[in-house]
Homo-oligomer: A and B are copies of this chain.
């Protein structure tokens, strides 16, 4: 239906519209792009593109604006990701380099990304469901309070304070600790949760004297594992939404809400389908189900020592997809490499 040149016209419209924020007309296209044909010809192509619902005219006689479908075609078939400039690569490196635990690295990642793109940046924590428990530690604080610590091989540490109602002597504590160790250490989080559930149903005869207290400890461990299983996000740059306010027809309220909720964004990020390079985009009304019909998300998978997660940006539908895709990809790669290094140094 749409000719090859027609697609080039679509590309030109998307590029110019993202550039200027103004509907783009046939004359503007022949001026800014060397098509070698006249404005009337472009007009004919534009009529076809409009038939295909790739572009629309806001008013009877004004330039054209890409539809969500138009952006989709652009992203899938027309966008060429320019590699980042050396300066941008240096910026990523200077942001991300330096040691620190997982939390630290992800916070720095998200800052780098919001800085580079001027959008809201989002980083998913690596999915911990597959992570393995490496340590369970119990620290008595006196007065019946117990600090319960769980560590996984993905480098995440979780601690929880719980009131168990009594203090144990060292031997009992060591026994409980050992029991939890054999129950959990070396096993994936998901499996650990199952084993704990079983244990809570058929009470163990191991420490009947302190049964209630140990149950309390086990419950605390279970809560921590459960927290690992839920995915988590780090975000930055929400203020950018206000800066590009004009890009959102309606209010930015739903966006800020989604950012605060996190759950919505987690679902959205989770449901996106990546291409063969690990890149994915969800455009405009495709996000209607999440109340984000005026926004787009562009993301790239990254590899946190075996478990996959995503890093992406959230912005107006009218965003610079090629640049954002390229940036997100570069950051994801750098992040993957950093986590590998970190792992090998251990």
Contacts and interface: CB of A to CB of B under 8 A. Distances in A.
Interface residues on A, range: 35 or more
Contact of A252 (B142, B163, B242): B242
Interface stretch (A63-71, A226-234, A253-261, A267-275): A253-261
B257 A251 contact: no
Contact of A346 (B145, B151, B252, B253): B145
A155 B161 CA distance: 8
B163 A159 contact: no
B251 A242 contact: yes
A182 to B, nearest CB: 17
A248 B252 CA distance: 14
Interface stretch (A43-51, A87-95, A133-141, A321-329): A133-141
Contacts of A99: 163
B143 A346 contact: yes
B149 A159 contact: yes
B239 A243 contact: no
A147 B139 contact: no
B243 A253 contact: yes
A199 interface: no
Interface in A10-62: none
A331 interface: no
Point out which of A155, A161, A245, A255 has the most chain B C-beta atoms below 10 A from its C-beta: A161
Contacts of A141: 134-135, 151
Contacts of A346: 143-145, 163
A238 B259 CA distance: 9
